[in-house]
Amino acid sequence: MVKTQFSSRLGFVLTAAGSAVGLGNIWGFPTQAAQHGGGAFLLLYLLLVFALAYPALVAEMAIGRRGHQEPIADLGSLAGKVGKLTGWLGLLAVSAILSFYLIIAGWLLGYMSDALLRLVGVSWPWLTTFSLGRNLILGLLFGLITWWVVQRGLQEGIEKWSKRLMPALLVVLIALACYVLTLPGGSEGLSAYLTPDPQKLLAPNLWLAATGQAFFSLSIGVCVMMVYASYLDKDASLPRLGLQVTLIDSGIAFLAGLLVIPTLYVAKAQGLAILDAHGQLISSDTLVFDLFPRLFATMGSAGLVLSFGFFLLLAVAALTSTLSMLEVPTASLVARTGSSRRVASAWVLGLVLIAMALICWQFGTLFGLVVKVVTQYAQPLLGLVFCVYVGWLWRRDSLLKALAAEDETFAKSWFWRLWPGYVKLVCPLLILLVMVQSIQ
C-alpha cells in the first residue's frame, strides 16, 4: 500500500501548526503570562520553547519519518518491545487529552452559539450553564465534527481543513486584538503584558509551569508530531519544518497575549474584579467562561459580536488540535487491523467518548486529575523517552541523514553541532529536573 502523504510541505506546516495552536496558546499561555509577570514569562517561555521543546519536537518527528509507519511500529523498530510499549502509552495519553479537550471544546460551541442566538434576540441559557447534559451533548457534537473531518482522510480532511482554518484563525485573532486595544484599559493591558517584571521569574513553580506549557503547546510526547512526520517525504528537512511550526505556534501565543491580557484590563476599567480574595488573578477557567462573558455583556451588540468572535477563535483552534489527536490512534488502528479510516476513527471516537462521559460524570474529581497527570507528567516523560531513543539508540551518521537528506551543508550547520548532544543529554536532564522539582 502506498503511504499517505501531505500534498505539500506547506500542508504539513499548517497541519502540524494546527495541532500545536490550540487552547494552550489562546487560553493557557496568556493566562499564565498574566499570572506570572507578563513580559518576564513571555521571555522565559520563548527560551524554553526554543532551547528545550523545539529540539524534542525534531526528535519526535525524526522517529516518525524514519519508521514511516504508525507510532507503535515506528517506536518498536527503534527500541524493540519497550519501544512498542512507549507507543501504546503515547496512544493512551493522546486519547486521554482528547477526552478532556472535547469537554472544553463543547463549552466553546455553547458560548459561541449563545452569542449568535442573542444577536438575533433569542436566549437559551442551557448553552452556557454548567450541567452534565450540556457537557455531554456539546462534547459529543464537537467529537462528531472532528470525526467527520478525520474520516475523510489526510489530504481531503485534516490537511484541507487545517489549511482553511489556520489563516482564518489568524485574521480573527488580529481583528479582535486590534479592537480590544482601542477600548479603555486596553493600552494599560498592553504595557502590563510587554513590560517584564524579572522578580517574578524567581517564583518556584514558574519554570515547571512554563515547561509544561511549552510541551503541551507544541503537542510533544503523544505521537502527534511523529504521525504527521511519517506523512512527509524523505527529502523534507525536519529541523526547518519543525522550526516553522515552532515559530507559528509561539507567534500565535504571543498574539493571543495581545488579545487576552488587554481584555483583562478592559474588564478592570469597567469595574469588574480581576483578582480573587487572595489578591491573585482569578483562575483561567473563570477568566474565559465567567469574567469575559460578563465583560462582553456590558458592551451591547458590539459585545455579542466580540463574544462570538472570541469563542469562534477558540473553537477553531481547538478543532485543528482535536483533528490531530483523533488521527494518532486512528492511524495505528488502520495500519494494524486493515480496517477503513471511517470505521477505525469511529471506534476510537467511541472509546474516547466513553472516557469523556466518565470525566463529565465525576467532573469535580476526574477533570483536574486527568489534565494534571497527562500534561504535567505523561507528556514531558514521553518526550524525554523519545529524546533518549533518538540520542542513544541511533547512530550519528544515519541520524544526520535522517534529519535533512536533501541538504548537504546541513552537517556544518549550527543546528547539527548542537542538537545531537542536546537530545542525548541536555533535554532528558532538564526535563527530569523539572519533573523532580514538581514532585517535590
Question: Which positions lie near ligand PFF, rule CB under 6 A?
Answer: 19-20, 22-25, 94, 97, 216-217, 219, 222, 224, 321, 324-325
Closest distance to ligand PFF from the beta carbon of 191 (Å):
26
Closest distance to ligand PFF from the beta carbon of 28 (Å):
7
Closest distance to ligand PFF from the beta carbon of 291 (Å):
20
Q: Which residues share a beta bridge with 196? A: 38
Closest distance to ligand PFF from the beta carbon of 212 (Å):
11
Q: Which is nearer to ligand PFF, 105 or 115 (CB)?
A: 105
Distances (CA, A) of 120 to 196, 301, 305: 43, 10, 11
Q: Which is nearer to ligand PFF, 224 or 264 (CB)?
A: 224
Q: Which is nearer to ligand PFF, 135 or 246 (CB)?
A: 246
Q: Which three cell numbers stand for residue 270?
A: 469597567
Burial 290-317 (b: 16+ CB within 10 A, else e): ebbbebbeeeeeebbbbbbbbbbbbbbb
Burial class of residue 405, CB neighbours in 10 A (0-12, 13-18, 19+):
middle
Q: Taking the mean position of all CA atoms in its chain, how far away is CA 430?
A: 21
Q: Which three cell numbers stand for residue 358?
A: 466518565
The answer for residues whose C-beta is within 8 angstroms of residue 306's C-beta and 6 or more apart is 176, 179, 180, 296, 299
Closest distance to ligand PFF from the beta carbon of 219 (Å):
4
To which residue does cell 490537511 refer? 159
Distances (CA, A) of 231 to 13, 16, 235, 437: 12, 11, 12, 37
Q: Which is nearer to ligand PFF, 35 or 375 (CB)?
A: 375
Closest distance to ligand PFF from the beta carbon of 70 (Å):
15
Q: Which is nearer to ligand PFF, 69 or 324 (CB)?
A: 324
Q: Which is nearer to ligand PFF, 216 or 419 (CB)?
A: 216
